[in-house]
Amino acid sequence: MWLTSSAMAAEPLRFESPTEQVNVIELFTSHGCSSCPPADAWLSRFTDNPDLWRQVVPLAFHVDYWDYLGWQDRFASSSFSQRQRDYRQTGGLGSVYTPGVLVNGEEWRGWYRGRALPSASSEVVGRLTLSVEPDRHAVIEFSPEQDRATAGLRANLAVLGIGIKSDIGAGENRGRSLEEDFIVLGHVATSSLTAQNTWKLAWPSLKQNSATRYAVVAWLSQDDNPAPLQATGGWLP
């Protein structure tokens, strides 16, 4: 995809979370939504945040339900729209709309009012480790806090694109040139364990893109609730 042969032959990349829960920011956005660019710009601020990946993990999910307005978002996915509807069903969101922001699976409108991100949770949930061989596969391991139940956990893997430019030719953002970060270009999930609290996932197929940089993120959630329980990630070479 973007790696040199020497990078592909190197040792697997390894990322590790703290034992305390990491803040996962999810932005549901669309190129067909004129209200979304300010939220996209807000999310981009985290590229220079010193807590990036260690204490905060940003994700931009592009939904497809505005495509009918005249411009098809090339990063949109019906599965991302369904993810947002799942949040509505489980109570994380009051309604389905864009731009919609959740922090750790809970609706948060503070970004619009210029408020600081909620403080990272002090809850000790356990350590999540991600080992990746880019373009091949990833292994996700979870060392839960003592006595914490792990039944029904689902492992998620996403590849993110940073510095992506899009010239919009129609719809509500017609004529605008957008630059965005943390776009989810590919996502896979599984509840199949290869060993106790260990998952092996194939590398996701990615949307065609013009990213200047890439990152990879893993998180755990329950089978019946998309809210992240723990997450980790980092930059790809």
pLDDT tens for 201-227 read 999 999 999 999 999 999 999 999 999
Least confident of 75-79, 109-113, 157-161: 109-113
Q: What is the DSSP letter of 67?
A: G
pTM for this predicted structure:
0.94
First to last CA, the chain: 11
pLDDT at position 10 is 66
Average predicted confidence (pLDDT) for the chain: 93
Mean pLDDT of 12-27: 96
Mean pLDDT of 187-198: 87
What is the Cα–Cα distance from 70 to 68, expressed in whole angstroms? 5
Instruction: Give the length of the chain.
Output: 237
In CATH, 20-116+158-185+207-235 is 2.60.120: no
DSSP state string for 141-152: EEEEPTT---TT
Q: How far, rounded to the nearest angstrom, does the alpha carbon of residue 110 sit from its chain's CA centroid?
A: 19
143 with 126: CB under 8 angstroms?
Answer: yes
pLDDT band at 194 (very low <50, low <70, confident <90, very high): confident
Residue in this structure with the two tokens 């403080």, named with its chain if needed:
119
